[in-house]
Amino acid sequence: MNMVLAMIALLSLWIPARRTTASTRTPTQDGLVYGEAEGETLTMDYYAARGQGIHPAAIIIHGGGYQRGNSKSGSEAYCADFLAPAGYAVFSINYRLAPKFPYPKMVYDVERSVRYIRHNAKRWDVDPNEIALVGGSAGGFLSNMVGLLNAAGDPAAKDPIDRESASVQAVVTLFAQSSFATVPLNKDVHALLDPLIEQKGEQEALKEASPITYVTKDAPPFLLIQGDQDEYIPFSEDTNLQEALRKVGVRCDIIRIPGGKHGTGNWHTLPGVPPWEREMVEWLNARFDRTGPIGEGIRRR
């Protein structure tokens, strides 16, 4: 009997630990440097894709009211838990924060991350033509903006990374602003936009900084995910952007979370919550013509 117990104990040492909560999330590489701007080092965390072959990339952009948060902020970084096992190379980025670095500097940082990943795609077995942005709250605004700006590379740039395009092939935003002109300004938005407002006046500044201003027929497809009880961002921010994109022939889908507040943290506890994580992966797979396992890393209902 003692021999049997000893064997069981020995075998248990070979059973890998299973991640059960977002708090146990561990990047494959932490603090990877993707650029430098005004003395600030720009870093991101990398989560390796499950499986062999060439993978699409998902760039996660955290929220935090434009002034707070980091690459490990739970509501957005949680997406790495289920995207990496589904075969996506995931990069969760840090960017410069307001008020020290007001608009549009954080937009430039997100564009830099796209260029960097595209330029170094072979390093992670990434398809440079299959890059998606996944952002929440302030990070969702940045996903909207960078996706719609669709910035080209600068062929005359000294840095070869800056010669790369910052265009992406899909955008997923969670509880994100699409226009500053349709929502009352709060202290976080003032921290982001006050220098621009002082320079150009409020009306022109809000138009310039609103993603919906840059909708064109060349925009990538969008998936918008939001709770209909969000206390900060009206659900109309999603429907307005969807209407604008559809008018120019661009696909834009919405996943509505009934009773959902701002942030993904408690969505799994809501009655009748849709399987938004699975639907997000299925939507991305359809855009990139991919198949793969879906389910690991999703919070239990």
pLDDT in tens, 113-167: 999 999 999 999 999 999 999 999 999 999 999 999 999 999 999 999 999 999 9
Residues sharing a CB contact under 8 Å with residue 275, sequence separation 6 or more, in sequence order? 298
CA dihedral 221, 135, 130, 161 (to 10 degrees): 120
- As a whole number, mean pLDDT of residues 246-264 equals 97
- Reply yes or no on whether the pLDDT at 9 is more than 80: no
CA-based nearest residue to 242, from 221, 257, 228, 261 = 221
Is residue 8 very low, low, confident or very high in pLDDT (cuts 50, 70, 90)? very low
Rounded CA separation 137/122 (Å): 31
Give the pairing of strands 29-37 and 40-47. Answer: antiparallel
Q: Supply the mean pLDDT for the chain.
A: 92
Higher pLDDT: 10 or 186? It is 186
- Reply yes or no on whether the pLDDT at 20 is more than 50: no
pLDDT of residue 15: 28
Is residue 25 very low, low, confident or very high in pLDDT (cuts 50, 70, 90)? confident
Q: What are phi and psi of 84, to 5 degrees?
A: -60, -45
Residues sharing a CB contact under 8 Å with residue 285, sequence separation 6 or more, in sequence order? 86, 291, 292, 294
- Per the structure block, which two tokens stand in for 172? 């997923």
Q: 110, 132 in Cβ contact below 8 A?
A: no
Q: 132, 59 in Cβ contact below 8 A?
A: yes
Rounded CA separation 286/173 (Å): 17
For the chain, percent of residues with pLDDT exceeding 70: 92
Strands laid side by side in the 55-61 sheet: 29-37, 40-47, 89-93, 55-61, 126-136, 170-174, 222-227, 252-257
- Reply yes or no on whether the pLDDT at 10 is more than 50: no
pLDDT of residue 292: 85
Q: 265, 259 in Cβ contact below 8 A?
A: no
Q: 135, 226 in Cβ contact below 8 A?
A: no
Residue-wise pLDDT tens digits, 83-113? 999 999 999 999 999 999 999 999 999 999 9
Is residue 180 very low, low, confident or very high in pLDDT (cuts 50, 70, 90)? very high
Is residue 24 very low, low, confident or very high in pLDDT (cuts 50, 70, 90)? low
Global confidence as pTM: 0.92
- Per the structure block, which two tokens stand in for 33? 């440097």
Rounded CA separation 101/280 (Å): 31
Of 6-15, 238-247, 289-298, the range with the lowest mean pLDDT is: 6-15
Is residue 7 very low, low, confident or very high in pLDDT (cuts 50, 70, 90)? very low
Which class for 271: exposed (0-12), middle (13-18), buried (19 or more C-beta within 10 A)?
A: exposed
Residue-wise pLDDT tens digits, 189-226? 999 999 999 999 999 999 999 999 999 999 999 999 99
